[in-house]
Structure 1
Amino acid sequence: MFYKSLNHKKFITTLGLVMMVLMASCTDLTEEVESEVTADNFFQTEEEFISALGDAYGTLTGIEGGGFAQVNEVTTDEIQIPARGQDWFENGFWFRVNTHTWTPDEFNGAWTFMYSGVNAANRLIFQFEEAVAAGAAEPSLADPIIAELQALRAFYYLNLLDVYGNVPIITSFADAPENPEQPSSDFQQGRQEVFNFVEQELLNSIPKLSDDVGSTYGRMNEYVARMALAKLYLNAEVYTGTQRWQDAITELDAIIDSGNYSLAASYLDNFAINNSGSPENMFVVPFDEVFLPGFSLNVMTLHYASQATYNFQSQPWNGWSGSQKLYEHYIMPDLNPGPQAEVFGIMPTADDIGLERVQGTVDDRKGNLIVGPQFSAAGERLTDGGVFAPEADLNGPPLTFTPFINDLQFSGCRQCGARIGKYEFENGINTSMNNDYVIYRYADVLLMKAEALWRLNQSDTEALMLVNTVRQRAGVDGFDELTADRLLGERMREMFFELTRRQDLIRFAGDEGPTEYNDSWKFKDVSPETRNVMPIPRVQLETNPNLVQNPGY
């Protein structure tokens, strides 16, 4: 049975308390947060050090619903948000995001999300070091916690490196510059320096971090830091032009050989309401509707009428949807249509709704998406009143979710789009879910190692075995060989809605077969490679004159 232990509850209670501080924060790079904690009245025990970590981890509560998910999910071919009448139109924002026609006015949320974490980590490191220097705290207690904060800061910088490339490196709190500069005015040189910083911070931290995965749930431990380092190495060629496949394997082997993690019996166990007992989840945000609210997938994705299905206290917003292509990949795993395949005509038939006419095994992970007729908790057939799109039948009763999406920009039908069902929806909740949000997971360790082995030797038998281990858990037949298309497709099925798709598409650019980040898909034309990093937000450029905009913007 899955559960949140008492220690987990204590940790998320601490995180919940610091949210009042975080919500009052501004988004300046040199943000200062006042604190009642001083060296002479705190930091006397390990528990006091741990309880003070809340600010640095509290930032992670914005990872799913804010700008970070926009960047890593909605800019890809697996998530689309149709403008259904005036709902979700937002002056064309979501259409621009999915079609790579965004402007520098967008994506400030992802920037402030990550720098808020950096700033909080810097402040706490400063406080802990001051306590040690003043003789008010024992170095033996402070050093592992400082290393944990440095590893967490490196995690934030890893994502800044991935999304924006050449960003200011700020490690000071008391002496932080008002207008920090990027490492170089040259984008690629600056990105290399950020890469070097993240690598060194993680390498320095790992020997000092706890290897006890039970007591560090939801925190940076040795293996979470190794996973971050493996992510850095797996994408090193994108970041620096130099491959680091073997280095990625070394870190992944350390995780595997530890024996601390294993695949859960069922894929969906990892995303259950009480998923803190999963043997597979390595790094999570331990959301809780009382102590740490903010995970609102239930209202973000489901139809207005779905309130009656789950007896929610609030009406859902009818927004985020899985793409038709994503749904097809669960049923036709070797589908490689290039540009989005038009399996449906403009008016889908009853058979088209679920694509059940396709022969072969059906992937258990198809449960990530909700399609078909919808019912109330009492078993009554739900209807969808109102007409927004010209294709009136697509909006009318009865309510049926279809993978088909007719339009993104103006007249998306209200029931078009498979809804995101990856995380179990709890009956009777409001707008905050109790499921822990998964950032790193052991299945990804296996798939990452398989890819690194395959890139070194495309006939590697261990790589094939690792991928087939993941496929076996999903209830589908194994592959007889690995190709770039199969690896990328398997990552799409397994890692859907885990913030990896953008990174995966960019990393597989140039490999024969798979659709790439810059290729066309339904509603999107080919985009330039300069879109592989986001623009530095205009508001940041206006605030800090030392920042240099990324190429192509």
Structure 2
Amino acid sequence: MKNIFKITLMCTALVVVGACTDLDEVLVGDVTEQFNGTEPSFGTFDGGGPGPADAVASAYNQLRESGSANHGGYWSVQSVSSDEMAVTQKGGDWYDGGIWIDMHRHTYGPTNGPVTGTWTAQYAAIGACNTSLASGDLDANQTAQVRALRAFFYMRLLDLYGRVKIVTTPGADAPQSTRAQVFNFVESELLGALGITNVIGMDLSSSPLATEHSQYRINQYAALGLLAKLYLNAEVYSGTPRWAEAAAAADYVINNGGYTLCDSGCSVPNPGKRPAVATDPDNLEGYAAVFAPNNKDNPEIIWSIAYDNVSGANMNFAQMTLHYSSQFTWNLQNQPWNGYSALEDFYNSYDDADKRKEANFIVGPQYDYDGSAILDYAATDGNLELNYTTSINELEPNASRKGGARLGKFSFRQGQRDNMDNDFPIVRLGEMYLIRAEGEARNAGNWSLALTDVNTIRARAGVPALASITADEFLAERGREMFMEVTRRSDLIRFGKFNDAWWEKPADAPFHNLFPIPQEQIDASGGTLTQNPGY
């Protein structure tokens, strides 16, 4: 079978979550290429579907609707504001009123669209949880799950905006709470869902949450994982460190959950394989398998968001990051948008032997399904071959369309639609090792206590064990492991690095550690919402 793809070398204008909004982009030209081959069929492929259809499904579905892994919302504001990546302005392409430049440089204000949209999406999710809880149709286990799920959405608001309203009844309003009060609410809800009052010496024998592994539903270990994440940032959120509790919650998951790191021998068939390209592996193994399109039931994942290309939409990393012509590598249904790319310094923080480097990034010359060089007919540098450089010439106004390593951690499949099949981990065992390591080290004031767990993670990555470690080295290791998993902004804040200068971003003031309360929310609140300091 011979498929013919027509590439229009311009950015398609999209609404709300589209790649760009410049309707005046100049049409460079149409290129018609022949694609030889057929869309592969993987008999064992299972993207997982949209998750269970049960009494709590409507609440869980909000995980996909709240910007968790698509352009323009929660994932974007967390990631682009960090030193992981940028959305560069490529002429008239991706300017979008400067919102992504502001996000990168921390010059965002209360009218920034993604900041506003992220707030609205989290409250929509909380509303769905409140409706589910008020229905009277849930048993004790389901009630505990939705309480924990609602607490997770409040964790996002706590992290991003700090001072928010704690609304627990459908259609109700509430006064604005302090950040410490929001922290206390989230903690109490997660502890209540678990049926305990403290994670130190906990007894979960009466917990309404189950222990069975259910990747798309919250069990005891998922709730404890959320508590571990909450306690890790407790000093930032509440002013009081809770390192011992962070370590204890993570330790319980590691020792009692029955989950295992996906290492050698843990593999799935590679859905992105090009039969004519010998360097494409038949299988994805270890770290790469955790984030693959067929990562359902991965033994490392404790709780994840169920995405599916047909019935569970809103993960579109391939569209967000790939150059238009990379459509030919994966036989994509539609042309990508060429937006997001990794910062060179972050890419260079990996050792070349680190397996995570190959899994996380797409760099170098690009080839189509048949192994032929892909051409970029809009190239302005005289070189038509598509080659992703690790360097980016500038953030704006004329960034290279081929600049920057592309985001490949959540890998792509052949014949992929705009929406992806990869499930997105919220709690996974690899991070639990890192939380236990940091909690124990900080609690004792001795970073050497982190070495055992850090070296467990490094061994999986195929890099040598460390003999010693500092706080900065730990932060770098955590960054390498957790790339694209929306932890980097919070990690930089916790380590006092978020306001540092990095590529195309000057040092900025600490008030940017919280996003502004959206102005439209303040205007509509009748005086019950006030702005965060500095804005």
Per the normalisation by structure 2, the TM-score is 0.82
Can you list the C-alpha shifts for 1:451-506, whole angstroms capped at 9, x where unaligned?
A: 11111235465521100000000000111112011110001100000000000000
Secondary structure of the corresponding residue to residue 88 of structure 1? coil
Secondary structure of the corresponding residue to residue 302 of structure 2? strand
> Greater strand percent: which structure?
2
- What are the equivalent positions in structure 2 for 1:46-57 lying under 5 Å apart? 51-57=54-60
Residue 369 of structure 1, aligned match among 343, 346, 361 = 361
Aligned AA (1:432): N
Secondary structure of the corresponding residue to residue 321 of structure 1? strand
- The aligned residue for residue 384 of structure 1 is 376
- The aligned residue for residue 439 of structure 2 is 452
- The aligned residue for residue 268 of structure 2 is none
How far is the alpha carbon of 1:279 from its aligned partner? Answer: 0.9
- The aligned residue for residue 29 of structure 1 is none
- The aligned residue for residue 255 of structure 1 is 253
Secondary structure of the corresponding residue to residue 61 of structure 2? helix
How far is the alpha carbon of 1:167 from its aligned partner? Answer: 0.4
Asked whether 1:127 is paired with 2:108, we answer no
Can you list the C-alpha shifts for 1:78-127, whole angstroms capped at 9, x where unaligned?
A: 11111112221111111110000111112012111211111101011100
Determine the C-alpha separation between the residues in 2 that align with 1:209 and 1:79.
40
Deviates more, 1:119-128 or 1:252-261: 252-261
How far is the alpha carbon of 1:13 from its aligned partner? Answer: 6.5
- The aligned residue for residue 343 of structure 1 is none
Secondary structure of the corresponding residue to residue 12 of structure 1? coil
Secondary structure of the corresponding residue to residue 139 of structure 2? helix
Aligned AA (1:193): Q
Can you list the C-alpha shifts for 1:350-395, whole angstroms capped at 9, x where unaligned?
A: xxxxxxxxxxx521111200110011111111122225xxxx42x7
- The unaligned stretches of length 5 or more in structure 2 are 1-42, 196-206, 264-285
- The aligned residue for residue 526 of structure 1 is 507
Residue 302 of structure 2, aligned match among 261, 279, 282 = 282
Q: 1:424 to 1:70 in 2, by over 3 A?
A: closer
Contact map agreement 1:301 1:316 (CA 8 A) in 2:
yes
Q: 1:481 to 1:74 in 2, by over 3 A?
A: same
Determine the C-alpha separation between the residues in 1 that align with 2:208 and 2:438.
27
How far is the alpha carbon of 1:290 from its aligned partner? Answer: 1.5
- What are the equivalent positions in structure 2 for 1:297-446 lying under 5 Å apart? 297-331=317-351, 362-367=353-358, 368-387=360-379, 392-393=380-381, 396-446=383-433
Can you list the C-alpha shifts for 1:206-247, whole angstroms capped at 9, x where unaligned?
A: 133433343x32111111111111111111111111111001
Contact map agreement 2:248 2:436 (CA 8 A) in 1:
no
- The aligned residue for residue 97 of structure 2 is 91
Secondary structure of the corresponding residue to residue 329 of structure 1? coil
Secondary structure of the corresponding residue to residue 501 of structure 2? coil
Q: 1:52 to 1:404 in 2, by over 3 A?
A: same
How far is the alpha carbon of 1:277 from its aligned partner? Answer: 2.2
Contact map agreement 2:141 2:210 (CA 8 A) in 1:
no
Can you list the C-alpha shifts for 1:270-307, whole angstroms capped at 9, x where unaligned?
A: 01111012111112111111211221111110000000
How far is the alpha carbon of 1:521 from its aligned partner? Answer: 0.4
- The unaligned stretches of length 5 or more in structure 1 are 15-50, 132-140, 184-189, 332-360, 510-515
Asked whether 1:172 is paired with 2:192, we answer no
Determine the C-alpha separation between the residues in 2 that align with 1:396 and 1:536.
46
Aligned AA (2:530): V
Contact map agreement 1:209 1:221 (CA 8 A) in 2:
no
Can you list the C-alpha shifts for 1:163-188, whole angstroms capped at 9, x where unaligned?
A: 100100011126x13xx3202xxxxx
- The aligned residue for residue 86 of structure 2 is 80
How far is the alpha carbon of 1:4 from its aligned partner? Answer: 5.0
- The aligned residue for residue 466 of structure 1 is 453
- The aligned residue for residue 271 of structure 2 is none
Deviates more, 1:322-331 or 1:461-470: 461-470
Q: Would you say how many aligned residue pairs link Structure 1 and Structure 2? A: 453
Contact map agreement 1:273 1:426 (CA 8 A) in 2:
yes
- The aligned residue for residue 236 of structure 1 is 234
Determine the C-alpha separation between the residues in 2 that align with 1:521 and 1:324.
10
- The aligned residue for residue 271 of structure 1 is 291
Per the normalisation by structure 1, the TM-score is 0.79
C-alpha RMSD of matched pairs (Å): 1.8
Aligned AA (2:224): R
Asked whether 1:548 is paired with 2:535, we answer no
- The aligned residue for residue 44 of structure 1 is none
Residue 116 of structure 1, aligned match among 115, 124, 143 = 124
Q: 1:88 to 1:369 in 2, by over 3 A?
A: same
Aligned AA (1:306): S
